[in-house]
Amino acid sequence: MYLGIDVGSITTKMVVINEGDEILAEVYLRNNGRPLEAIQHGLESISSRLDGKTSIDGAATTGSARHLAAYLVGADLVKNEITAHSIAVIDLFPDAKTIFEIGGQDSKVIVLRTGVVVDFAMNTVCAAGTGSFLDQQAARLGISIEEFGRLALKAKQPVRVAGRCTVFAETDMIHKQQIGHSVEDIIGGLCDSLVKNYLNNVCRGKEILSPIVFQGGVAANQGIRKALEKELETDLIIPEHFGLMGAMGAAKLVRRAKPVRTQFKGFELSRKSCSTRGFECGECGNQCEVIELLIDREVVACWGDLCEKYRKSSGPITG
């Protein structure tokens, strides 16, 4: 069995697959600002779904907190999000030419040709259109994020909303409410604006060709999906496990790597005390911000030191 872990800014995803790439267990949960606790809860949940089978032959991490997760669980492989998401898509949809991935606080586009990544881009300035922004607007309107997508489909006359910035978008939405537009039309207009922002900024200069695979947590939002299909004039492919594709890709990559002996620390890690602490080293002019990982009050890993003075091990294979 092979474990893939994708720790993003908002959520943690885990998948266990077998040699045939079948999913044996999966978990999708929110970090709530505490990624260490989320990883521990995820391991506990995964373990409970494996019917007592706890032998993991390889573990890999990806996502924005992939290095933290790798040191914590003892990963054999650390891969960037572009590689992990691409592998998951290529295996399932070998003819895919474009991947749209929109998560909690970032969004990306990956251009594929004959099963190879030839180009990609990520948002670097604004989080407009990402999951966290949509969650905030849904909460401000007093509706659930599930209702948000359904209401967008009911829009009869979507209004124009400034979607190039989260601050401007929210201000514009408030203004539209105050002059009397319906919630449905405001949400529909917001979805249209955010999609145009994504295509004009993140996808700028990229050759967007079909088939297009849309994944990430925001792929669950029917309003965004409809707005993308309307703007591109084509249907999107939504994978069955659209929110778990990064974790699936990581698991597939470590299965292919076939580590001789896994470094995975085991599911009992979920019951141990885990924490981090940081300090600034003043030994030289670099003034490195050093992070230590403690398990049961013992320092088991350290990173951030350019000279590797404090580092306890070389860590997993990265790429």
108-151: pLDDT as tens digits:
999 999 999 999 998 866 665 677 778 777 887 788 877 888 88
Contact of 152 with 223, CB cutoff 8 Å: yes
Q: Which residue has the tokens 């267990």?
A: 25
> Do 218 and 145 share a structural domain?
yes
The better pLDDT of the pair 313, 218 is held by: 218
> Do 278 and 266 share a structural domain?
no
CATH number (domain holding residue 202): 3.30.420.40
Residue 189 has pLDDT above 60, yes or no: yes
> Do 79 and 189 share a structural domain?
no
Residue 54 has pLDDT above 80, yes or no: no
> Do 279 and 257 share a structural domain?
no
> Do 139 and 81 share a structural domain?
no
Contact of 250 with 77, CB cutoff 8 Å: yes
> Do 222 and 100 share a structural domain?
yes
Q: Mean pLDDT score of the chain, rounded to an integer?
A: 87
Q: Which amino acid is at 145?
A: I
- Total domains, the chain: 3
Residue 162 has pLDDT above 80, yes or no: no
User: What is the per-residue DSSP string for the chain?
Assistant: -EEEEEE-SSEEEEEEE-TT--EEEEEEEE-TT-HHHHHHHHHHHHHHTTTT----SEEEEESTTHHHHHHHHT-SEE--HHHHHHHHHHHH-TT--EEEEE-SS-EEEEEEETTEEEEEEE--S--TTSHHHHHHHHHHTT--HHHHHHHHHT-SSPPP---SSHHHHHHHHHHHHHTT--HHHHHHHHHHHHHHHIIIIITTT----SSEEEESGGGG-HHHHHHHHHHHTSPPB--TTTTSHHHHHHHHHHHHH--SS-----GGGGGS-EEEEEEE--SSTT--EEEEEEETTEEEEEE--TT-SS-----SEE-
> Do 197 and 99 share a structural domain?
yes
What is the pLDDT confidence band of residue 182, given thresholds at 50, 70 and 90? confident
Residue 127: its pLDDT value, please?
Answer: 61
> Do 50 and 19 share a structural domain?
yes
> Do 154 and 63 share a structural domain?
no
What is the pLDDT confidence band of residue 37, given thresholds at 50, 70 and 90? very high
> Do 266 and 279 share a structural domain?
no
> Do 98 and 177 share a structural domain?
yes
Write out the residue range of the structural domain in which residue 292 sits. Answer: 274-318
The residues near 300 (Cβ < 8 Å, ≥ 6 apart) are 71, 293, 294, 312
Highest mean pLDDT among 52-56, 76-80, 144-148: 76-80
Residue 191 has pLDDT above 90, yes or no: no
> Do 147 and 213 share a structural domain?
yes
